[in-house]
């Protein structure tokens, strides 16, 4: 910033100084009248990169994925009214998946609030249920403190989005920049070391268990507990299944990995959970896509549940050993006391299930199968490759057939299931991790929801590789219509543009692949190219995602190859 520290700053300049204090290097956003001064201050700020998106929803998703890829809070800007409301889906997505994000929105001037003024929206009221906290700044003298608190709240405890609403006259008013010397938030407490952790009890329960399973969620990645999780699994010889949010927290090529469990999880993971006598849940929330019927979920198991959010303990599943705390801190406390254990009979049973019910699909010489594309991307990926998915059938195939080996390398919309997430997520991941190969795996339906962000990729020269699983349907809905509506495909047939010409229109090389024999070669060529590439894989439109647990069913009542 070109402003002497002793000079009073405008509110907009205070925002920039505060972002610098927080270590922010990137903001995703879209300008407008209510944030005019904010963008003017940004123009003079050389330390913060701004990524101009084409729709505010893209800014929120990109900030979300930036946070997931880097571990740092994502930041986005939007103007008042429609600019702010366009962020809401992205904010909700981050809230559902516990992602640290700070969203700044412009607001009409204080004297115009509540008068239905041009481009006025009560964004703090609108986002109240989908933010961890939000602020309407009424005094420029409070601005630096509020921003410091916003970042602290967003990134501590169970992370989540925080919104800071900035009336235009507050961004124009002046005040001295005063950075709070310490954080003072009475009533906001973050559990760390594990309230309720009882090491002798863990030793006793684990030593008595004959069929333990670890169920690991996104909280393992958030807390940085992957190394401790690996030590626990190997020391006590316990198989590990992960949620969609937890993919990558445990290497999926490890012999103790069960892959994902739940509705579209592996059959062997579902059988293992159903038959285990001890379930160690780490940073996971027992959502309905995981448990199916609560009554039949892990019916023989004692449950240890470690979560930093006390509201999650016992919310969906009865827990015998609750621990409120940071997963890494808890495991670091417990691990030294645990004995080395063997569960040879149990692991032999798990191995038998793996052989009996592997993930499989019918290969074809004439049609590309979606699973083939995902498998090939997985085979080409190195440990640093990041995959961002959209939502639908391709997302579940990616969860099944892409083997994530490191945390923060598989980014997907879990809780909200937001179509349109994948492409802007790829932008955020690539900006946050420029050294990584970033792949977006999208459906032809979901890509069209935020396809305008191809212009963002071109403008900022981001080498994102995009693989479209093009089946001409809203595939997951079509699958449910086939299974539960007697094949009445009500409004799920979808047409799209010529993706090769669309890619060219945005200045991106595009290729259509229809021959199964050309899948690997196309992916290798795309990987070798320096810039972005779009690959339109025309796939078999009748292919379904199996195994599948019908909604509300037991984990052992699987359709498809889990039987």
Q: β-pairing, 533-538 with 257-260?
A: unpaired
> Is 56 one of the catalytic residues?
yes
Enumerate residues 6+ apart whose C-beta is below 8 A from 204: none
The C-alpha atoms of residue 269 and residue 426 are separated, in whole angstroms, by 29
Question: Exposed, middle or buried, 377 (CB in 10 Å: 0-12/13-18/19+)?
Answer: buried
Largest CA distance in the chain: 72
> Is 255 one of the catalytic residues?
no
**CB of 62 closer than 8 Å to CB of 411:** no
Helical segments of 276-338, H only? 288-291, 327-334
For residue 467, give the nearest of 501, 437, 441, 503 by alpha carbon: 441
Place of tokens 């509110």: 11
> Is 476 one of the catalytic residues?
yes
CB atoms within 10 A of CB 470: 27
Tokens of 340: 């080395």
The C-alpha atoms of residue 537 and residue 515 are separated, in whole angstroms, by 9
Among candidate residues 263, 419, 476, 548, the one labeled active-site is 476
For residue 273, give the nearest of 252, 248, 293 by alpha carbon: 293
Helices (runs of H) and strands (runs of E) counted in the chain? 23, 20
> Is 119 one of the catalytic residues?
yes
Among candidate residues 13, 101, 107, 168, the one labeled active-site is 168
The C-alpha atoms of residue 267 and residue 124 are separated, in whole angstroms, by 44
Among candidate residues 118, 204, 320, 504, the one labeled active-site is 118
Tokens of 444: 């032809």
The C-alpha atoms of residue 267 and residue 326 are separated, in whole angstroms, by 30
Among candidate residues 119, 201, 452, 518, the one labeled active-site is 119
Tokens of 482: 């086939």
DSSP-derived letter for residue 397 is H
462 backbone φψ class: left, alpha, beta (φ>0; ψ -120 to 50): beta
Tokens of 215: 């169920």
β strands within 139-270, DSSP E: 161-167, 174-175, 212-216, 240-242, 257-260
Among candidate residues 13, 16, 37, 56, the one labeled active-site is 56
> Is 529 one of the catalytic residues?
no
Distance from chain centroid for Cα 26: 19
Which residues are 162's β-sheet partners?
102, 133
The C-alpha atoms of residue 467 and residue 203 are separated, in whole angstroms, by 47
Place of tokens 């993706």: 499
For residue 480, give the nearest of 371, 374, 559 by alpha carbon: 559
Tokens of 96: 């559902």
The C-alpha atoms of residue 513 and residue 500 are separated, in whole angstroms, by 10
Which of the residues are catalytic? 56, 118-119, 168, 476
């Amino acid at each position: 910033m070109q402003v002497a520290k002793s000079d009073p700053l405008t509110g907009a300049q205070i925002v920039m100084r505060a972002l610098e204090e927080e270590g922010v290097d990137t903001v995703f956003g879209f300008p407008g009248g209510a944030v005019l001064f904010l963008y003017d201050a940004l123009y003079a700020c050389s330390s913060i990169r701004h990524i101009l998106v084409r729709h505010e929803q893209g800014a929120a998703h990109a900030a979300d994925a930036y946070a997931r890829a880097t571990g740092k809070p994502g930041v986005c800007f939007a103007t008042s009214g429609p600019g702010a409301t366009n962020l809401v889906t992205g904010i909700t997505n981050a809230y559902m998946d516990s992602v640290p994000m700070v969203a700044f929105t412009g607001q009409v001037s204080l004297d115009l609030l509540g008068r239905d003024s041009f481009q006025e929206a009560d964004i703090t009221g609108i986002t109240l249920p989908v933010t961890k906290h939000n602020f309407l700044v009424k005094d420029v003298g409070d601005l630096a403190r509020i921003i410091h608190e916003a970042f602290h709240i967003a990134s501590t405890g169970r992370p989540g989005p925080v919104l800071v609403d900035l009336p235009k006259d507050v961004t124009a008013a002046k005040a001295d920049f005063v950075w709070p010397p310490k954080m003072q938030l009475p009533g906001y407490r973050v559990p760390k070391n594990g309230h309720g952790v009882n090491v002798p009890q863990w030793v006793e329960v684990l030593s008595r268990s004959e069929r333990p399973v670890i169920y690991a969620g996104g909280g393992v990645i958030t807390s940085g507990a992957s190394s401790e999780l690996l030590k626990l699994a190997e020391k006590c010889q316990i198989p590990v299944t992960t949620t969609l949010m937890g993919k990558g927290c445990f290497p999926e090529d490890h012999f103790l990995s069960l892959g994902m469990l739940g509705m579209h999880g592996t059959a062997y993971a579902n059988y293992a959970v159903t038959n285990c006598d001890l379930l160690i849940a780490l940073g996971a929330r027992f959502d309905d896509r995981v448990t199916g019927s609560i009554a039949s979920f892990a019916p023989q198991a004692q449950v240890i549940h470690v979560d930093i959010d006390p509201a999650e303990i016992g919310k969906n599943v009865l827990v015998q050993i609750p621990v409120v705390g940071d997963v890494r801190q808890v495991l670091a406390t417990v691990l030294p006391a645990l004995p080395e254990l063997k569960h040879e009979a149990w692991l032999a049973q798990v191995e038998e299930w793996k052989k009996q019910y592997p993930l499989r699909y019918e290969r074809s010489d004439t049609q590309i199968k979606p699973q083939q594309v995902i498998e090939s991307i997985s085979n080409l990926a190195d440990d640093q490759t990041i995959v961002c998915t959209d939502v639908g059938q391709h997302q579940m195939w990616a969860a099944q057939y892409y083997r994530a080996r490191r945390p923060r390398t598989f980014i997907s919309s879990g809780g909200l299931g937001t179509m349109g997430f994948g492409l802007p997520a790829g932008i955020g991941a690539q900006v946050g991790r420029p050294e990584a190969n970033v792949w977006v795996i999208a459906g032809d339906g979901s890509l069209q929801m935020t396809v305008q962000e191809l212009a963002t990729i071109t403008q900022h020269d981001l080498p994102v590789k995009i693989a479209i699983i093009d089946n001409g349907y809203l595939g997951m809905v079509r699958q449910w219509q086939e299974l539960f509506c007697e094949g009445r495909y009500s409004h799920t047939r979808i047409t799209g543009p010529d993706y090769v010409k669309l890619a060219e229109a945005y200045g991106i090389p595009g290729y259509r692949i229809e021959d199964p024999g050309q899948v690997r070669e196309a992916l290798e060529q795309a990987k070798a190219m320096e810039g972005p590439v779009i690959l339109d894989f025309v796939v078999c439109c009748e292919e379904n995602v199996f195994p599948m647990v019908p909604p509300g069913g037991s984990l052992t009542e699987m359709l498809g190859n889990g039987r």
